[in-house]
Structure 1
Amino acid sequence: MYRIAVLTDRTRDGRNYVEQITRFCMSRGLLPQIELHNDQERFFHGILDEKPSCIVLALPGVAGLNAVEHLRSLCPDCGIMWCSDLDFSLQAFRLRIEYFLLEPITPEAFSHGLTVLFETHMKRNRN
């Protein structure tokens, strides 16, 4: 099963991201399991047992950078879309993040990021 995890410290934003991911997937005939996580420690402990296919990470500042670095070390093959309030685009490139979004994030930009995330992740897993 295709699993998508959303990790954020803002519950409202997380719900919004889950809704957008659900609409995006339904429009493409995809039915993944989508999980919202607000507790980093629990999330990282949980992915040791069962790794998600893709992750949308939306954490502010250096907390986001630290989380994405840790995430990449735990899940080198997971697709990651990183949303941040600081411009960490160079770090995102260095960490092989499929898509980086700088806040504020429009629904169109988020949808484009999902498109890139899914296309890149699916191509990589075919090879």
Structure 2
Amino acid sequence: MENVKVKKEIVNQELKQKKKHYIDWKCIVRGQIYLAEMYDGIVQEVLVISNNTGNFYSGVITVVEVLNGKVDVTQMNTISKKRLLAYVRTIGEESMKLINHQIRVCIIGIDNMAAKPVAI
């Protein structure tokens, strides 16, 4: 899945045509990929990595950017749910296990390894 950065106006027009512009903020789940407005109106695919309880009650979520089908867990961001523009898909269980391991490597420093990008 090719990841292309586009301006918010273009994405909003496409979402209105596809009628995918409504996101239920209470149903955001860890492991889902969304289009989100990140910096200066640039739209980027992001993977939700924050826990589901926090996703339900909080107004913010923790995400990592998806670039060329890979996620780099060293680039975690906390963003407002209001920045989410459209649901894209949910990643598989095996991919999420690899990402969980890379998050532990990145945060805790286990296995004396450096976190590496994970293909999804």
TM-score, structure 1 normalization: 0.28
Greater share of helix: 1
TM-score, structure 2 normalization: 0.29
Greater share of strand: 2
